[in-house]
């Protein structure tokens, strides 16, 4: 068993891990489960030796590097949720083990487990999530309305931090909206950061354009329309959202457009070049825009 606890007391880490077998996961995703404690989250994983889906990391050297980059970002004031330590079965094929992180502040930007029935990408894997008792209609309407009321300064912080994370060559998974947390005092936080961009693993791969990816990622608080060319997998399924009814769809569109305008303003406030913004806006389509 490989054990590394660079940012957590080993006794604390072992105490947390010893309690996991007696707990039920609070959250479940495609290849990991989350066990939540008061101050910490323990994440089970079956693929700790794989980075960015396909790149092997048998000795976990790349994971160790990710941990160091996250720590530097945290020290610089970027709202990442760092990895405090991990254990991994060295004999397991793809790396079975646990990651330990501090609890993210606030709650998910949107809980994918609740709204998965509305998301295009989740249609074939919605059953991986733990079932939620929340009413998806009430949830998507109330949560979208709440997000539309987030102050502009926090949208500015979101874009600033997206750019800072990308500048560290780390991958942000924009597909899952549960990978972003929001607290009304602290602002946005980023979880599930455990991979580099492809060019770190493959010298023949071209580095991604940071300003362009930042401009795309800035719109993650929005609900994307089925006609979007950016993050099409995150688009709303038109047939599914019809259950919101006429009034609900109107409210969703109005609130979503308020979010869109704040996301767009945050790009300008963070100095993203005008030509990059214009180019991305040609491909971004959010629910409620004319023609969507």
Give the pLDDT confidence of 127-158 residue by residue, as tens digits. 666 677 889 999 999 999 999 999 999 999 99
CA–CA separation, 220 and 137 (whole Å): 20
For residues 56 and 81, is the Cβ–Cβ distance under 8 A?
no
Q: What's the whole-model pTM score?
A: 0.95
Query: How large a percentage of the chain has pLDDT more than 90?
Result: 86
CATH number for the domain that contains residue 15: 3.30.200
Residue 192 lies in a domain: yes
Separation CA 47–CA 60 (nearest Å):
11
- Of 59, 79, 102, the one marking the end of a domain is 102
Contact 94, 50 (CB under 8 A): yes
Average pLDDT on 85-91 reads: 96
Tell me the β-bridge partners of 97: 45, 88
Q: Are residues 223 and 257 in the same domain?
A: yes
pLDDT tens string 213-229: 999 999 999 999 999 99
What digits encode the pLDDT tens for the residues 260-277?
999 999 999 999 999 999
Quote the domain boundaries for residue 57.
2-102
Q: Is residue 29 part of a domain?
A: yes
124, 77: one domain: no
Q: 74 and 116 in one domain?
A: no
């Amino acid at each position: 068993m490989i054990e590394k606890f660079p940012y957590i007391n080993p006794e604390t880490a072992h105490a947390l891990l010893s309690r996991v077998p007696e707990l039920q996961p609070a959250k479940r995703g495609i290849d990991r489960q989350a066990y939540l404690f008061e101050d910490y989250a323990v994440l089970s994983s079956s693929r700790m030796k794989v980075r960015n889906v396909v790149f092997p990391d048998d000795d976990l050297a790349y994971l160790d590097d990710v941990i160091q980059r996250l720590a530097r970002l945290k020290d610089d004031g970027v709202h990442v949720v760092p990895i405090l330590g991990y254990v991994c079965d060295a004999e397991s094929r793809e790396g079975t083990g646990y990651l330990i992180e501090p609890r993210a502040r606030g709650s998910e930007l949107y809980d994918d487990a609740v709204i998965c029935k509305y998301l295009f990408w989740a249609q074939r894997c919605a059953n991986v999530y733990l079932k939620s008792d929340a009413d998806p209609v009430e949830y998507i309407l109330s949560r979208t309305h709440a997000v539309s009321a987030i102050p502009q300064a926090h949208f500015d912080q979101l874009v600033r931090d997206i750019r800072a994370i990308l500048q560290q060559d780390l991958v942000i998974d924009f597909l899952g909206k549960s990978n972003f947390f929001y607290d009304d005092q602290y602002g946005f936080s980023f979880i599930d950061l455990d991979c580099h961009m492809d060019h770190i693993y493959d010298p023949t791969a071209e580095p991604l354009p940071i300003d362009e990816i930042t401009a795309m990622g800035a719109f993650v608080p929005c609900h994307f329309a089925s006609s979007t060319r950016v993050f099409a997998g995150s688009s709303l399924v038109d047939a599914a959202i019809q259950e919101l009814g006429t009034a609900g769809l109107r409210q969703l569109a109005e609130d979503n457009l308020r979010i869109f305008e704040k996301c767009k303003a945050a790009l300008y406030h963070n100095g993203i070049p005008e030509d990059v913004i214009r180019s991305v806006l040609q491909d971004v389509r959010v629910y409620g825009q004319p023609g969507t």
